[in-house]
């Protein structure tokens, strides 16, 4: 009888050990088994989640084969406090360890948007209005004029954020706040300006006027190689005490109601942005200038040009005298000729 009981007991022990070893091996295999994903899989881990809930979600989306083993793996490695929130994207072949480590890394899925060079605050507001993954994106214009925000980016006393945010492509996780986005854009503008700080210090106008001029250059030409030439024109005008006389500044003062048709009456109607009726720079920058326009001011072409007119081919004809300029206007604008003008 005793032998029978002992025999049964040994059988149970062997069975338990066999089961345990089998489970242990299954667990070891589980940790490194690869799941082949045909398409990208995105998992959203919300605030307040825990690893148990995450494990169930991961299994539901086909990233792991066993949620309980995944949770055991987290506990075994003491990763319980390393859970990060946000959207995580997976593709290719991934193992449970790969999945866990990516989540713990906090490398969330990033979304992108682009504010092109030359966009103004109204243009940018239109871009942000269509972005649903940025919290408060519809409040861009409101924040652009908010004194507290302007103070926070070092723009105390300025009317708006116009010209103070750097135009580029940015990448952020879903749920980022619009203020954080705009602050990043302002910081990037400071980074770019810092590169030219020494040269800017040699000019006879301050950093804000510098951005005004950069925005004028940005709006006057879409051809990058022309920007140093355009810069030379406005610097030459300033040097001899001539008005800036730039159409984009007048147009800006008419926004957001400008219809696209700039009239002589518009040019003669005085307002803080009208550089035909007032000397100096307009009241604010006209847009968000890119680095090319910024660089062109500190490294302008060495010219004596005071005037330029669009040729109709994307480029401009530059003149030293008003007589030559008027003749070029007659050729390209009045007659609408696209042949080369020879003066």
CATH code for the domain of 39: 3.30.1490.480
Residue 118 lies in a domain: yes
189 and 218 part of one domain:
no
Give the per-residue pLDDT at 314. Answer: 85
In a 10 Å sphere around its CB, with 0-12 CB exposed, 13-18 middle and 19+ buried, how is residue 310 labelled?
middle
Three-class SS state of 199? helix
Residues 143, 157, single domain; the answer is yes
Question: Cβ distance 54 to 34 under 8 Å?
Answer: no
| Domain end point (choices 148, 173, 194) | 194
| 208 and 301 fall within a common domain | yes
Domain boundary among 68, 87, 105: 105
Whether 158 and 247 map to the same domain: the answer is no
pLDDT at res. 324? 95
Number of domains in the chain: 3
List CB contacts of 254: < 8 A, sequence separation 6 or more: 266
> What is the pLDDT, as a whole number, of residue 1?
59
Q: Is residue 9 part of a domain?
A: no
- Flag residues of the chain having pLDDT under 70: 1-12, 14-24, 26
Give pTM, 2 decimals: 0.84
**Contact between residue 290 and residue 279 where contact means Cβ atoms under 8 Å apart:** no
Considering the domain architecture, whether residues 238 and 158 belong to the same structural domain is answered as no
Q: How many CA atoms lie within 13 A of 37 on its CB side?
A: 20
Question: Does one domain contain both 227 and 145?
Answer: no
Give domain status of residue 228, yes or no: yes
By residue range, what is the domain housing residue 35? 28-105
Q: What is the pLDDT of residue 8?
A: 65
* Residue 239, Cβ density class (10 Å: 0-12 exposed, 13-18 middle, ≥19 buried): exposed
Give me the helix-helix angle, 2-32 and 67-76, nearest 10°. Answer: 90
Whether 208 and 187 share a structural domain = no
Residue 123 and residue 164 in contact, taking contact as beta carbons nearer than 8 Å: no
Residues pairing with 89 in the sheet = 42
Token pair for residue 258? 């400008």
Residues 225 and 188 in one domain: no
> Quick one: tokens of 299?
């490294």
Regarding whether 208 and 285 lie in a shared domain, the answer is yes
Q: Classify residue 40: in a domain, yes or no.
A: yes
pLDDT at 291: 98
Cite the beta strand spans of the chain per DSSP E: 35-45, 86-94, 110-114, 169-173, 307-310, 316-319
Is 311 among the domain residues?
A: no
Domain assignment present for residue 324? The answer is no
Is there a domain that residue 181 lies in?
yes
320 and 333 Cβ atoms separated by less than 8 Å: no
Residue pLDDT, tens place only, 272-315 = 999 999 999 999 999 999 999 999 999 999 999 999 999 988 89
Residue 244 covered by a domain: yes
Does residue 235 sit in the same domain as residue 170?
Answer: no
Q: Do residues 223 and 190 share a domain?
A: no
Same domain, 143 and 94: no
Q: What's the confidence (pLDDT) of residue 253?
A: 94
């Amino acid at each position: 009888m005793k032998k029978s009981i002992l025999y049964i007991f040994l059988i149970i022990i062997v069975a338990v050990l066999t089961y345990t070893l089998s489970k242990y091996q299954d667990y070891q295999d589980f940790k490194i088994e690869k799941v082949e994903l045909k398409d990208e899989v995105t998992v959203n881990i919300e605030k307040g989640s825990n690893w148990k809930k995450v494990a169930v979600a991961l299994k539901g989306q086909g990233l792991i084969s066993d949620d309980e083993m995944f949770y055991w793996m987290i506990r075994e490695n003491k990763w319980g406090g390393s859970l990060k929130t946000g959207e995580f994207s997976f593709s290719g072949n991934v193992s449970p360890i790969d999945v866990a480590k990516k989540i713990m890394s906090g490398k969330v899925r990033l979304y992108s948007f682009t504010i092109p060079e030359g966009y103004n605050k109204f243009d940018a507001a239109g871009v942000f209005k269509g972005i649903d993954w940025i919290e408060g994106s519809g409040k861009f214009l409101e924040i652009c004029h908010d004194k507290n925000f302007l103070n926070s980016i070092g723009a105390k006393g300025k009317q708006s954020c116009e010209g103070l945010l750097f135009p580029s492509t940015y990448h952020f996780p879903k749920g980022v706040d619009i203020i954080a986005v705009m602050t990043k854009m302002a910081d990037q503008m400071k980074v770019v300006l810092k590169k030219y700080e020494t040269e800017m210090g040699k000019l006879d106008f301050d950093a804000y006027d510098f951005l005004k001029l950069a925005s004028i250059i940005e709006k006057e030409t879409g051809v990058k190689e022309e920007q140093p030439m355009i810069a030379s024109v406005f610097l030459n005008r300033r040097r001899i005490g001539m008005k800036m006389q730039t159409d984009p500044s007048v147009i800006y003062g008419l926004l957001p109601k400008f219809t696209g048709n700039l009239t002589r009456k518009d040019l003669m109607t005085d307002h803080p942005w009208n550089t035909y009726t007032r000397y100096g720079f307009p009241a604010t920058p006209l847009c968000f200038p890119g680095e090319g326009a910024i660089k062109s001011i500190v490294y302008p072409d060495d010219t004596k040009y005071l005037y330029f007119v669009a040729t109709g081919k994307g480029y401009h004809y530059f003149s030293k005298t008003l007589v030559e300029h008027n003749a070029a206007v007659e050729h390209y604008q009045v007659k609408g000729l696209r042949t080369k003008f020879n003066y």
